[in-house]
């Protein structure tokens, strides 16, 4: 049985989080970045990755595009559409800010699938167990790449954007409120930083996991009484 050859395009924050876990599961992944020196330095940190150049793209079965939204269509236009075996290639769009249907409309003859990560890249990097959203059932060769990284759920891409916006809005609103309260009460900037980077995030995590301590549970009761 032919071994599936995979190329990760993009070695930014998301790309690093992905390769970190693929490396631990001994998946062999090719890596491409337009800067040869950057990609060469990148693969040195991951023993199961190797450097890829466009001259080898015809050998690839799956392209994972962990690129900013504005770079997705140009990369497909400049590098993929001219390949000889384009009809047998599967392409994965991971950019949150561009809908996969838009890309499919630009390239109707290509096999393009959206797999969007719901969450923050650092959490995926450090903890794994990610949640990935796709609108359609994935080919086995793609699904098997993401199952070691967490859960794959079928849902609309725009739901992911709405959830990300909702979470980001309320997180920033809370952060600004905390900063304002800390400043108004003349607390040390060190305290403010500690609250924002450690205390508040860990309280939210504990609330989500159902592991709040006694002190936090008493405050939660106060909040619930305020609703009445």
193 and 148 inside one domain = no
Tell me how far apart the alpha carbons of residues 144 and 138 are, in angstroms, rounded to a whole number: 9
Give 12-54 pLDDT, tens digit per residue.
Answer: 999 999 999 999 988 899 999 999 899 999 999 999 999 999 9
191 and 112 inside one domain = no
Tell me how far apart the alpha carbons of residues 44 and 40 are, in angstroms, rounded to a whole number: 7
Domain membership of residue 186 (yes or no) is yes
82 and 49 inside one domain = yes
Q: Above 90 in pLDDT, residue 228? A: no
The predicted model gives 85-94 an average pLDDT of: 92
64 and 145 inside one domain = yes
Domain membership of residue 198 (yes or no) is yes
Give the end of a domain, one of 114, 129, 155.
155
40 and 143 inside one domain = yes
CB 71 within 8 A of CB 77: no
22 and 88 inside one domain = yes
Domain membership of residue 180 (yes or no) is yes
The predicted model gives 139-164 an average pLDDT of: 94
| pLDDT for position 87 | 85
Domain membership of residue 212 (yes or no) is yes
Give the end of a domain, one of 104, 122, 155.
155
Task: Residue 136: give its domain's CATH number.
Answer: 3.40.50.720
Please give the residue range of the domain that contains residue 50. Answer: 6-155
130 and 197 inside one domain = no
Domain membership of residue 1 (yes or no) is no
Give the end of a domain, one of 155, 183, 209.
155
Task: Report the mean per-residue pLDDT for the chain.
Answer: 93
Q: What number of other Cβ atoms are within 10 A of residue 172's Cβ?
A: 10
82 and 185 inside one domain = no
| Overall number of domains in the chain | 2
Tell me how far apart the alpha carbons of residues 90 and 177 are, in angstroms, rounded to a whole number: 45
Helix-helix angle 200-209:214-227, to 10 degrees:
80
Domain membership of residue 37 (yes or no) is yes
Report DSSP letters for the chain, one per residue: -PPPPEEEE--SHHHHHHHHHHHHTT--EEEE-SSHHHHHHHHTT-TTEEE--GGGGGG-SEEEE---HHHHHHHIIIIITT-TTGGG-EEEE--TTS-HHHHHHH-TTSEEEE-EEES-HHHHHHH--EEEEESSPPPHHHHHHHGGGEEEEE--HHHHHHHHHHHHHHHHHHHHHHHHHHHHTT--HHHHHHIIIIIHHHHHHHHHHT---HHHHHHHHHHHHHH-
| pLDDT for position 1 | 53
114 and 183 inside one domain = no
Domain membership of residue 121 (yes or no) is yes
11 and 114 inside one domain = yes
Q: What number of other Cβ atoms are within 10 A of residue 12's Cβ?
A: 12
Q: Above 70 in pLDDT, residue 2? A: no
């Amino acid at each position: 049985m032919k071994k599936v050859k995979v190329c990760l395009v993009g070695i930014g924050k998301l790309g690093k989080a992905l390769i970190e876990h693929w490396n631990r599961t001994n998946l062999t992944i090719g890596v491409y970045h337009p800067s040869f020196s950057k990609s060469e330095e990148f693969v040195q940190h991951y023993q199961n990755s190797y450097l890829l150049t466009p001259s080898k793209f015809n050998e690839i079965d799956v392209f994972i595009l962990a690129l900013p939204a504005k770079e997705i269509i140009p990369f497909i236009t400049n590098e993929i559409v001219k390949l000889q075996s384009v009809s047998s290639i599967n392409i994965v769009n991971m950019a949150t800010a561009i809908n996969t249907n838009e890309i499919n409309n630009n390239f109707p003859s290509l096999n393009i699938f959206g797999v969007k990560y719901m969450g923050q890249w650092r959490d995926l990097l450090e903890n794994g167990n990610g949640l990935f959203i796709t609108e359609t059932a994935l080919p086995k060769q793609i699904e098997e790449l993401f199952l070691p990284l967490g859960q794959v759920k079928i849902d609309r891409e725009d739901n992911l954007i709405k959830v990300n916006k909702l979470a980001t809005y309320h997180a920033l609103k809370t952060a600004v409120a905390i900063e304002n309260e800390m400043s108004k009460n003349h607390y040390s900037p060190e305290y403010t930083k500690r609250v924002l980077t450690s205390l508040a995030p860990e309280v939210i995590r504990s609330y989500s996991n159902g592991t709040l301590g006694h002190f936090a549970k008493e405050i939660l009761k106060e909040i619930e009484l305020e609703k009445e």
